[in-house]
Each structure stands twice: as structure tokens, then as C-alpha cells.
A and B are shown apart, each in its own frame.
Chain A
Amino acid sequence: MKFCAVKQYFDDENNNNITSGASTTMIPLPNVESHPLAILITYCKKHLKIKANNADNKKETEKEMEQYEQELLKKVMPQELTELILAANYLNFKEALDFFCRAVASAIQNKSIEFVRKFFGLESDFELGEEEKLREEFAWSFEGVDED
């Protein structure tokens, strides 16, 4: 099940014996903006379509899905990734969440501490000298890091 949060909403409705009747029900999603939601819906539809096309062939599905994911990443800005992750997380859409998390991981893999702090909106909370000590101990891990 992809959009688990939405499914939960429907389950709750059914439990409360409210007949939904109409095929268009408005589901409030206050924590998701329309742009990332649109991308997630497209991702989900594409995934289902690829799966249907390749019926039993799991490897083909994976391959096609990878190709689609590569194309998608080219169109998405790094800043948008955090929005997409927040949306997928709220909607409880695991496949998309894992995919976008991996995309962010790829993007930050070779970056500096300063870049990563800025990207995640974090600040150093180390005591005086603690950070220097760590940097010295693991100086080798700073080799070859991308310039900011």
C-alpha cells in the first residue's frame, strides 16, 4: 500500500460508518504542499504501471524503475528533496521515502561538515575543543572532500 496515511483516513471513515459514496472525497493533508504531492502521485502511478507491465519479472521492474528514478532526479532540485522527503514521510509512502533518502545521501556523501549543517539547518553544539579533537582523530576522513 503506498499512501498509508490516506488509507488510514479511509479506514477511519469506514469505522465511523460514514458512507463516502462519491468518488471524489476531500482528504485534508495540511502538512503536504501541492508540488511535492504531485511528484509523489506521479511516482506512485509510474511505479504501479511499471509493475503491471512487467508482471512477474521483478528484475525488469527494478531496472525500469531505476531508469525512471534517474530521470526524475535530473528534474528535481536538491532543495526540493527535503520537501519530498517530508511529504513521503507524512504520507507514510515507504518506497518513495527510501528513494529520496538515498538521493539525498548521494548528494551529501562527499560534502563538507559546513555544507551538511547548512543543508539540514543544524548548528554545532560541541563544547570548546571537542570538535577539533574529533577532526584531528579522524583527519583521514576529510581527505578528498568536495569544495564548498
Chain B
Amino acid sequence: MEPGPQPLILRQWKNHLPHDVVLNILVTLPVKSLIRFKCVSKLWDSSITSPNFISTHLNIVNNNNNNDDNDHAYLIQTCIEYNSPKIPITYKVFCCDRTFDSLFEFSVPSDFDLNMSLLIGSCNGLVCLTQHRRLSATSDAIYLWNPSIRKFKRLPDSCSNGKDFWFSTGFGYQSKTNDYKVVKLRGTPVVAEVYTLSSDSWRKVEISFRSKVVGAIPYSFPLFFSGALHWFAYYSEGGRKFPDPTMILSFDVNNEKFREMAIPDGDKLIKQDLFAFKGNLAFSSCGYPENDDDLQSDSQCFIWVMRDYGVHESWDKIFSIRLENVDISFYGCTEHGELLLYKKVKEESKDGEIKIHDWNESTILSNDIAIVLLDPETLHEKDLGILRYVTDILTTFKESLVSLDGATELYG
């Protein structure tokens, strides 16, 4: 082999890295830098907005989340109440890191009325919000929002707008085609409408469950887990206005099939929730302990995990937690298996100061309400020092470049 050195050529391309190497550099950058670097050149603009780059970037963000506590991970919607009655209640959305220490406020688009809206869910950095019909007289608007790139989109109205009393909305990711879907469930018997981002349109989906009539629990929000949306539902025998959930209705976002899953056996308390616990589907039941004295001062929480997804017998009751002298409400669960709870102390206990982040001036402080992280194994509690009026916490949020122009297929 001739060892011919070619110093001239080398010098010429000294600063010219091949484009695939440049992409290797860019793909580890935060979203704000990448959005700015779209202006570097046409090639950079088209590379940064390509579906493959966006997916690779998302995977890297996903993997980094395990090592870097500073990565944004939780989206918190709060209702800020000012001391002055003249200033109306405002809703804000904050993003914070895994330790709940650092956070910043996401600027909400001005055409977007965040008041009276609810967070439905988040997939790959896209957030779905809906304006709740009971609260807003105007419409059932649904929005998709990527706060990291500051783009939002109002969905076209579905057929059911203005007709029904209630519906339950879910948001999921279709991995097969790199697409996103919003599913509206309403009425008894249940009827479903599905919106697909790539086609920007709604269509009805049939639900047929042998001969039984299925009703979904009103005003509930489904859990997106393992490629499917999961609602609490029941078999309707007619009559009951506020039924208890007796089964889980799941909707596979990829093949658009509904299927029934059993809830755990055993005694239940007042309020049920579905969430993901360390990679498994989990079921919680919270309320007042049975056989307690009439004071109902303590709260109790049972948690089951489904060891084998879809298999009824694999429901395993793993926790039975009793908290003294408090009312609790359940927000969700972190990736590390810590429960996010809203806690209201019942008695006049002055157990020291509760640290409050001054996210905005004139907040009302209270010593008896807190948002805590509870480790169900050790029962260790960490007060997060967050304002009390947190309406929702999304634990699956991440920074991403995913655009709302319509999903496009990945290749390769």
C-alpha cells in the first residue's frame, strides 16, 4: 500500500466535517439550540426538521433522563389565586426537573385560553389539552401543543361537539406509523371517535363487545400505557347514575381495537386510578379505611400491579398504605415508583413550616396542604413545596422537536 500523504487535501477540508458527523453533534443539543440552528443553512433546516432526526433526538433525550436529574420531566398545571379579589384565577403551566427543584414557566400562546382547560396527557413531548365543556360555555376545543418548540394546534371539531353531556378524551402515540391520535369516548353504550394527526381528521370507531352494553365512567381520563389507552368502564344494566368501574376498556392505538381487561379482585375503596408503576400497569384504590371509627380521619390506599400485562390472574396487591389524619388525592407516579399525592392535614397540626416556591407573588400560604412524593416501600415523604392549587401533573413529559404539521413516516 502506498503511504502517500495528501496534506494539501487534508488542509482544505480541515474544518469540514461530513454531514452525518455534524448530525451526530447536533442530535445531542437541546431543542432551543436546534430551533435556532435551523437558520444556519437550508441543509441544516431540512435535517433538523426531518422525522428521522426528530426520532433519534427523542431517543437520546429519553436515555439521558436516566442520568441527568436536570432534564425536564414533569409538566405541572397550577391555578394561581391572588390575594386580591380583582385578579381572576389564572392557570399556568410549569415544567420542572425530576427533583422538583428547578422549574420554569412555559409561555402559553396568547390565542390560547388556558383558563378552564385540562391537561389530557403527553406523548413524546406533545401535550394534549381540552377545554372542559362544563366549565367553558363556548366549545369543546381540543389542542395539541409542543411547548418546547412553542407550536400549538387546535383540532377540528369532531361530530360529537355540542351534542353530548360528557365525554372522556385520551391522547396516544401510534408507533407503527409515527403518528398521534386523540380518542373521544362518550355515552352509554360507548361510542368512540378517533382523530389522527397525519390526516388531521376525525372518524368513528365501532365498539362491539359481544352482546353486552358498555358504559365508560364519565369525566375520567384514560391512561396511555403500552401502546393503548385504558379507561375505567362497566357493563351497563341500566339505571345507575354513578356506576363503579368493574372493568378496564383498552384501545390499542396501533390496530384501533377495543378490548376488555379485568380489574383486580378484592375490596375497593372510594376512588380508583390507573397509572404506570416501574413499567407495569398499576391500579390504585384510595379512600377511608373500612371498619374505622366514624371520624374517617385516616386515609388508606391499596395498590396492585399487573405483573403480566393483560392477564387477570397476574394482578398482585403490593401496597397497603395508611396515612394518618389526612385526606389524599392521587396525581400519578414517577419513573422511580414514587407516588405524587395531594395531602390535606385534617387536624390543626403545626408541624413546622411548609416551604412554598414563590412562583408568583401574592400566593396564599397554608400550613395544612402539601404536594408530596411518597415512596410506597419506605413510606418516606418528601414535601415538594409546591403551591397548593395544582390541578394536574404529567409525569411523562419530555423535551422534543416533534412538529404539529402532521406526522410523517419514518424509514430505514
Asked whether, in the complex, the Cβ of A113 is within 8 Å of the Cβ of B24, the reply is no
Say whether chain A's binding surface is mostly helix, strand, loop, or mixed.
helix
1/0 per residue B224-267: CB within 8 Å of A?
Answer: 00000000000000000000000000000000000000000000
Query: Taking the complex as formed, is B349 at the interface, i.e. its CB lies under 8 A from any CB of chain A?
Result: no
Q: How far is A31 from B16 in the complex, measured between Cα atoms in Å? A: 13
Whether A125 contacts B42 in the complex (CB less than 8 A), given A89-B21, A113-B37, A138-B35, comes out as yes
Asked whether, in the complex, the Cβ of B22 is within 8 Å of the Cβ of A105, the reply is no
**Among the listed B1, B2, B15, which residue makes an inter-chain contact with A120, where contact means beta carbons less than 8 Å apart?**
B15
Query: Taking the complex as formed, is B213 at the interface, i.e. its CB lies under 8 A from any CB of chain A?
Result: no
Query: Taking the complex as formed, is B17 at the interface, i.e. its CB lies under 8 A from any CB of chain A?
Result: yes
CB-CB nearest in chain A for B23: A101
1/0 per residue A130-143: CB within 8 Å of B?
Answer: 11001100101110
Interface size band for B: 35 or more
Asked whether, in the complex, the Cβ of B24 is within 8 Å of the Cβ of A101, the reply is yes
How many A residues face the partner with a CB closer than 8 A?
Answer: 39
Query: Taking the complex as formed, is A46 at the interface, i.e. its CB lies under 8 A from any CB of chain B?
Result: no
Q: How far is A19 from B5 in the complex, measured between Cα atoms in Å? A: 25
- Which residues of B have CB within 8 Å of A96? none
Asked whether, in the complex, the Cβ of A141 is within 8 Å of the Cβ of B5, the reply is no
Asked whether, in the complex, the Cβ of B39 is within 8 Å of the Cβ of A82, the reply is no
Least CB distance from B299 to A in Å reads 38
Whether A26 contacts B3 in the complex (CB less than 8 A), given A82-B14, A83-B14, A101-B28, comes out as yes
Whether A97 contacts B24 in the complex (CB less than 8 A), given A110-B33, A121-B15, A145-B36, comes out as yes
Asked whether, in the complex, the Cβ of B22 is within 8 Å of the Cβ of A120, the reply is yes
**Among the listed B16, B17, B45, which residue makes an inter-chain contact with A134, where contact means beta carbons less than 8 Å apart?**
B45
Query: Taking the complex as formed, is A64 at the interface, i.e. its CB lies under 8 A from any CB of chain B?
Result: no
9 residue pairs bridging A and B, Cβ less than 8 Å apart: A28-B1, A83-B14, A86-B13, A98-B24, A110-B33, A120-B22, A124-B40, A130-B42, A141-B33
Query: Taking the complex as formed, is A109 at the interface, i.e. its CB lies under 8 A from any CB of chain B?
Result: yes
CB-CB nearest in chain B for A32: B10
CB-CB nearest in chain A for B36: A141
Say whether chain B's binding surface is mostly helix, strand, loop, or mixed.
loop
Query: Taking the complex as formed, is B412 at the interface, i.e. its CB lies under 8 A from any CB of chain A?
Result: no
**Among the listed B28, B29, B39, which residue makes an inter-chain contact with A113, where contact means beta carbons less than 8 Å apart?**
B39
Query: Taking the complex as formed, is B4 at the interface, i.e. its CB lies under 8 A from any CB of chain A?
Result: yes
Q: A105-B26, A122-B40 given; name 7 further pairs at CB < 8 Å.
A: A28-B1, A28-B3, A101-B25, A109-B29, A124-B41, A126-B41, A141-B33
Query: Taking the complex as formed, is A33 at the interface, i.e. its CB lies under 8 A from any CB of chain B?
Result: yes
Asked whether, in the complex, the Cβ of A30 is within 8 Å of the Cβ of B6, the reply is yes
1/0 per residue B117-128: CB within 8 Å of A?
Answer: 000000000000
- Which residues of A have CB within 8 Å of B2? 28
1/0 per residue B372-384: CB within 8 Å of A?
Answer: 0000000000000
Name the residue among B3, B24, B26 with the largest chain A CB count within 10 angstroms.
B24
Asked whether, in the complex, the Cβ of A121 is within 8 Å of the Cβ of B37, the reply is no
